Amino acid sequence: MDLTSLDPQQLQQVYTSLSQEVEYLTNSLAQLKSAQEKFNSSKKLLSNISPENNGKETLVPMTSSLYVPGIIDTNDKVLVDVGTGYYIEQTVEAAGSFFERRVQYLKTKIQELQPLVIAKMREKNMVEEVIKAKMTTK
């Protein structure tokens, strides 16, 4: 599409649309990165489950802001939140593998989304430049 052939009102509509897309994609990217960090954190926490920590007190995260006291029991099984409120009992090794698969999946999705975000930002900037150019010629 030749941006210079559009009138200022059409350019503003294109700019608004691109701004909304960029905001949505940026938020999506941030959510993917946040989820990736949570899976990485969960995987690292699995290392705390060892025989020397058996019986020690800890705080168990129920949500991002709610923790309840608990005692570490090293029976080599953990509950893994697999989404939408479902939990599965798995071995520490299986849970680590699950978290690693999720991290890799999210890494792939982030790598796919980043170029799209950059492209949309460039498009938005181009439209903004055309708007500025049209405003200065008036």
pLDDT in tens, 76-88: 888 898 989 899 9
Q: Which pLDDT belongs to residue 138? A: 66
* Paired sense of beta strands 86-91 and 77-83, if any: antiparallel
pTM of whole model > 0.85? Answer: no
- Rounded mean pLDDT of 86-92? 93
Strand, coil or helix: 49 = coil
Given a contact cutoff of 8 angstroms between Cβ atoms, the answer to whether 19 and 124 are in contact is: yes
pLDDT in tens, 23-73: 999 999 999 999 999 999 999 988 878 778 888 888 888 887 999 999 887
pLDDT in tens, 115-132: 999 999 999 999 999 999
